[in-house]
Amino acid sequence: MGIPLNNTTIYTLNFADDQVVMAQDLDDLEYMTRKEYRHWGLEVNVAKTEYMCVGGPQQNMILEDGQVIEGCKGYKYLGTQLSSSGTLEEAIKERNNQGRKAISMLNSVLWDNKISKTNKHRIYNAIVKSIVSYGSEV
């Protein structure tokens, strides 16, 4: 179960009330969604849950009680677009589009002759660069 990374194994990524469960195959994923949460007194909200297989076929996952978790080809987690191909091309395109939108919204400021170039650079660096580079460390 989980994904081996260096000298450790990653089972979940948690942020607030969101959780990403990682498994190497469908059987492990079914086990983790079926057993681990009940052990802690938690229930999976199947209506809000999606499952994605990176680098493999997308299919629905059927739980023991007959509930179906829908397969998906991509989703957004913590502001980053994840895709079943395992590449970050969609996330990069999304960030670039958001940067373009920010520039178009700042056009009146960036073309204003009353604002110095120094201040324009500061505005650009603070807003546009931060939008485009968000999550780039990942």
Distance CA 59, CA 52 (A): 8
Token digits of residue 105? 């919204």
For 32-70, the pLDDT digits (tens) are 776 666 677 777 777 888 888 777 777 777 777 777 888
First-last CA distance in the chain: 23
SS (H, E, C) 7-19: CEEECEEEECCEE
Computed over every residue of the chain, the mean pLDDT equals 81
Contact criterion met (CB below 8 Å) for 26 and 32: no
Residue 30 pLDDT level (bands cut at 50, 70, 90): confident
- State residue 34's pLDDT score: 67
Q: Is the pTM of this model over 0.75?
A: no
